[in-house]
Amino acid sequence: MGQSQGSPRRGRTVRAAGTALAAAILLSGCSDTEDVPVLTWYINPDDGGQATLAQLCTEEAEGAYTIQTSLLPADAPSQREQLARRLAANDSSLDIMSLDPPFIPELAEPGFLAPVPEDVAERTTEDTLEGALAGAMWDDELVTVPFWANTQLLWYRESVVEEAGLDMEEPVTWDQVIETALEQDKLLGVQGIRAESMTVWLNALVESQDESILANPEAPAADLQTNLDTEPGSRAAEIIGTIGSEGLAGPGVASMDENQSMLLFQRDQGSFMVNWPFVWAATNAAAEEGAVESELVEDIGWAQYPRVDEDTASAPPLGGINLAVGADSENQELAFEAIECIVTPENQTEYFITNGNPPSSEAAYDDPALEDDFPMADAIREALENAAPRPQTPFYNEISTAIQQQFTPIAGVDAEQTPTQTDAFIVEVLRGERLL
Amino acid sequence: MTTAPETSRRQKREAAASANAKNADRRNGNGKKRTNRAKSEARLGWLIAGPAFFIMLAVTAYPIAQAVYDSLFSFRLTAPDERSFVFLQNYQTILSDWDVFWSALGVTVLVTVVTVAVELVLGFGLALVMHKALLRIRGALRTAILVPYGIITVVSAFAWYYMFDINSGFVNSWFGWVPGIDSDLDWFANFPTAITVIMASEIWKTTPFIALLLLAGLAQVPDELVEASKVDGASWRQQMTRVILPNMKAAIMVAVLFRALDAFRIFDNVFIMTNGAANTEVLSLLAYRTSIGRLEIGLGSAVSVILFACVLLICVIAIKFFKVDLASGTDAKGGK
């Protein structure tokens, strides 16, 4: 319209320039968006470490791919729900997923996860700590790549063990822990809330007696057999029940999760606590802010997870995050390339220092920089060697929920009845004979 | 009541009817043929209501039908290959489960009955206050009363949770002088205390809704009737029970029905505060945990279908037995 007022010649020039510009935009648009595949990495919430790694590996890929992170819900069960729904619906955007180990079999069994290529498996698990490696497998095959691994330590107050005359260089048993708390009228930091942490605790107690909650974890639902109604199961129930009925976890035990038990441990009545290593960074931060007294940090010690039997090494809980590729992803090869970049030992060390999540690779612990921030790094590495995964079955969610329902409130746990009832309950639920 | 244009329309229609006996028959429901006018009116009706009707079908009837269909299968989302038709077995499993299903149903009924009853009493009080309040403060008062209803349920659930939580709550220290409350009381560890907090939160949040519906009912009671009863020497109590309440019956029943349906589907408060611990599980939470948590689509759909059937049952009871007239005051009322 404006052209009608100008000369025809000028009109042509303008049009030609416009065409050139449009072509330039189109061409550059192509090279920016279509040539470089975008890998979506579904991450669990952390302190920004995974986003940093995504950026780092995007840069290292030099245009081969771009990693974009997408945040999953805060708690592990909700992450599982969302991933399972997307995977079941053949969502092709699930290029890389951060998975909590107990839910791996459930997603691997129906073929929702792309198989890890042999060469990638070899390179990424060269020096993976034993416990972490066990958690990455299903059906004797590596179905995910271990990224970071988590485990619990026994945290204690130096003042308390000194008074009790305990030698913390030697392994400690649950009986000693309970006795000390009773004698000194102190409280224990355990997780009594009806949540995943209940299964974590029970599993560690059972595994510490060289027994497993499931006799045949790879069996189909109808044939699964539980092992709680055994001597080890009843011993585990006795420990949980005693702590509950003696009120050793304080009046708020029914809502005590990992964070609340840390807060309890920080108080004057704190004595021992079983918890993940995040408590160290969190307590230090609280001391710096003045939320807790600075002497508190000096008073905190750590040891291996308590034993059940004096003579059997403890099997601490295993947690962490593994990386998997969705079976419907259109960029599987690139995704595994990106995973290899993400899980290098150097990146794991960096992630530990910045986000407080311990590496699954043994070599990642060799960095001397760890000593300052995480003086317990060696203890964590040792615990990860002995750590035992939770029951590895596609029906883990059912088993865990049943355990949570039966073992809470912990004051009601009875060494005779609870394991028997839980066994029967789990079997009935798995056979579809009753609701959960 | 009929408006002026309506009256003139009717007059025209009646004029046309007297000219044509067949037309009169049609309007009485005996005619076979419809006039052009009736046809075009019907067409207009469909044009106006049709899109909404089909959208409603698409977004409600279809999912309901899908849920009913799914409920006949044993189907787990993470085992798609093992899906199998089991007919009514899911329902049998659910209905024979006393510890989970019937307990959840019991809690749901308890919450519904208690909250609706308490809300009705409180809501009526608030409605009276709003009705009688001086004109100057009426607006501010109504707004103030409505604030809880405007708060998102999840937010109010968290607020109540943190108020009573043993670790962060202030209730235990503020009300330590009340017998039975001390710093060691964990409200969410036992059924009686946990369900009390859940119901209190529910009541606090939805009483304004009932109050609003009852206020509308109060406004419908003709002043002349109340004044006449006063002149006749009726006491306040007699005015209430003989004049005001009988005239408000429709509004009260609608309020009760709506709130009962709402309360029966309670989810947020329980989900946030206890997540079903301490035996506080309700039907909606059970449906959620089964379909979304366990990914058991078949079993979860069956729970949802049962929940839906219960809601339908409440509607039928209310409409058939208590004669709730949802269409009172509109032209859709039968016989008009």
The answer to whether A206 touches A227, Cβ cutoff 8 Å, is yes
3-state secondary structure chain B: CCCHHHHHHHHHHHHHHHHCHHHHHHHCCCCCCCCHHHHHHHHHHHHHHHHHHHHHHHHHHHHHHHHHHHCCEECECCCHHHCEECCCHHHHHHHCCHHHHHHHHHHHHHHHHHHHHHHHHHHHHHHHHHHHCCHHHHHHHHHHHHHHHHCCHHHHHHHHHHHHCCCCCCHHHHCCCCCCCCCCCCCCCCHHHHHHHHHHHHHHHHHHHHHHHHHHHHHHCCHHHHHHHHHCCCCHHHHHHHHHHHHCHHHHHHHHHHHHHHHHCCCHHHHHHCCCCCCCCCHHHHHHHHHHHCCEHHHHHHHHHHHHHHHHHHHHHHHHHCCCCCCCCCCCCCCC
Beta bridge partners of A93: none
- Please identify among residues 172-211 of chain A the ones whose CB lies closer than 8 Å to any CB of chain B: 194
Place of tokens 């998997």: A324
Residue B240: half-sphere exposure toward Cβ, Cα within 13 Å: 6
Reference B294, options B66, B75, B72; nearest CA is: B75
Q: Is cis: bond before A251, omega within 30 of 0?
A: no
Nearest to A255 among B74, B186, B286 (CB): B186
Nearest to A252 among B80, B93, B186 (CB): B186
User: What is A151-316+390-430's CATH superfamily?
Assistant: Periplasmic binding protein-like II (3.40.190.10)
| Buried/exposed B108-138: b ≥16 CB within 10 Å, e otherwise | beebbebbbebbbebbbebbbebbeeeeeee
Tokens of B179: 């017998």
DSSP A219: S
On whether any CB of chain A is under 8 Å from the CB of B79, the answer is: yes
* Mutation choice for A interface testing from B78, B165, B280 by most A CBs within 10 A: B78
Q: Do A435 and B80 touch (CB under 8 A)?
A: no
* Beta-strand pair A153-157/A300-303: antiparallel
Q: Do A112 and B184 touch (CB under 8 A)?
A: no
| Cα separations in angstroms, B336 against A136, A177, A330, B327 | 71, 80, 63, 11
Residue B106: half-sphere exposure toward Cβ, Cα within 13 Å: 11
Beta bridge partners of B225: none
B18: Cβ contacts below 8 Å, ≥ 6 apart: B24
Per DSSP, the three-state class of A143 is: coil
Q: Do B165 and A255 touch (CB under 8 A)?
A: yes
As a whole number of angstroms, the distance between CA A97 and CA B195 comes to 39
Tokens of B245: 């309440």
User: Minimal Cα distance from A407: which residue of B?
Assistant: B277
Q: Do A255 and B99 touch (CB under 8 A)?
A: no
The answer to whether A288 touches A276, Cβ cutoff 8 Å, is no
- What is the maximum span of chain A, computed from C-alpha positions, in angstroms? 101
* Count of other CB atoms within 10 angstroms of residue A328: 17
On whether any CB of chain A is under 8 Å from the CB of B189, the answer is: yes
Looking at residue A356, what is its pLDDT?
87
User: Minimal Cα distance from B166: which residue of A?
Assistant: A252
- Helix (H) / strand (E) containing A66: strand A66-71
As a whole number of angstroms, the distance between CA B116 and CA B94 comes to 27
What residue ranges of chain B have pLDDT lower than 70? Answer: 1-33, 326-336
As a whole number of angstroms, the distance between CA B133 and CA B140 comes to 10
The alpha carbon of residue B167 is apart from the nearest alpha carbon of chain A, in Å, by 7
On whether any CB of chain B is under 8 Å from the CB of A398, the answer is: yes
Task: Decide if A36-143+322-382 and A151-316+390-430 have a common fold.
Answer: yes
Cα-only R_g, chain A: 26
Q: Do A81 and B275 touch (CB under 8 A)?
A: no
Looking at residue A31, what is its pLDDT?
46
Tokens of B166: 């043993």
Q: Do B295 and A81 touch (CB under 8 A)?
A: yes
Residues of A in contact with B275 (CB under 8 A): 194
On whether any CB of chain A is under 8 Å from the CB of B167, the answer is: yes
As a whole number of angstroms, the distance between CA A285 and CA A266 comes to 13
- Please identify among residues 261-290 of chain A the ones whose CB lies closer than 8 Å to any CB of chain B: 263
3-state secondary structure B251-292: HHHHHHHHHHHHHHCCCHHHHHHCCCCCCCCCHHHHHHHHHH
Tokens of A76: 């592990």
Residue B315: half-sphere exposure toward Cβ, Cα within 13 Å: 9
The answer to whether B95 touches B101, Cβ cutoff 8 Å, is yes
Domain ranges in chain A are 2-32, 36-143+322-382, 151-316+390-430
Reference A62, options A329, A338, A332; nearest CA is: A338
| Cα separations in angstroms, B52 against A10, A222, B64, B233 | 55, 47, 18, 52
Beta bridge partners of A148: A321, A359
Nearest to A255 among B89, B167, B289 (CB): B167
What residue ranges of chain A have pLDDT lower than 50? Answer: 1-11, 14, 25-32
- For the residues of A154-208, what is the DSSP string, one character each? EEEEHHHHHHHT--TTS--BHHHHHHHHHHHT-EEE---SSSHHHHHHHHHHHHT
Looking at residue B21, what is its pLDDT?
44
- Phi then psi for residue A47, to 5 deg, are -90, 30
Nearest to A435 among B81, B89, B93 (CB): B93
As a whole number of angstroms, the distance between CA B332 and CA B45 comes to 13
DSSP A47: S
Reference A249, options B165, B186, B168, B182; nearest CA is: B186
Q: Do A435 and B277 touch (CB under 8 A)?
A: no
* Count of other CB atoms within 10 angstroms of residue B156: 21
User: What's the full length of chain A, in residues?
Assistant: 436
As a whole number of angstroms, the distance between CA A384 and CA B300 comes to 38
Neighbour-count burial of A312, counting CB atoms closer than 10 A to its CB (0-12 exposed, 13-18 middle, 19+ buried): middle
On whether any CB of chain B is under 8 Å from the CB of A251, the answer is: yes
| Cα separations in angstroms, B307 against B285, B288, B303 | 11, 11, 6
B242: Cβ contacts below 8 Å, ≥ 6 apart: B229, B234
The answer to whether A30 touches A85, Cβ cutoff 8 Å, is no
Looking at residue B202, what is its pLDDT?
96
DSSP A388: B
Map out the domains of chain B with their CATH numbers.
4-64 (no CATH), 89-321 (1.10.3720.10)
Looking at residue A5, what is its pLDDT?
38
As a whole number of angstroms, the distance between CA A261 and CA A284 comes to 16
Reference A82, options A45, A52, A48, A117; nearest CA is: A45
Alpha helices in A33-129 (DSSP H): 49-61, 76-88, 104-108, 118-124
A70: Cβ contacts below 8 Å, ≥ 6 apart: A40, A41, A42, A43, A93
As a whole number of angstroms, the distance between CA A56 and CA B47 comes to 58
Residue A257: half-sphere exposure toward Cβ, Cα within 13 Å: 5
Looking at residue B133, what is its pLDDT?
78
User: What is A36-143+322-382's CATH superfamily?
Assistant: Periplasmic binding protein-like II (3.40.190.10)
Q: Do A106 and B78 touch (CB under 8 A)?
A: yes
Looking at residue B328, what is its pLDDT?
61
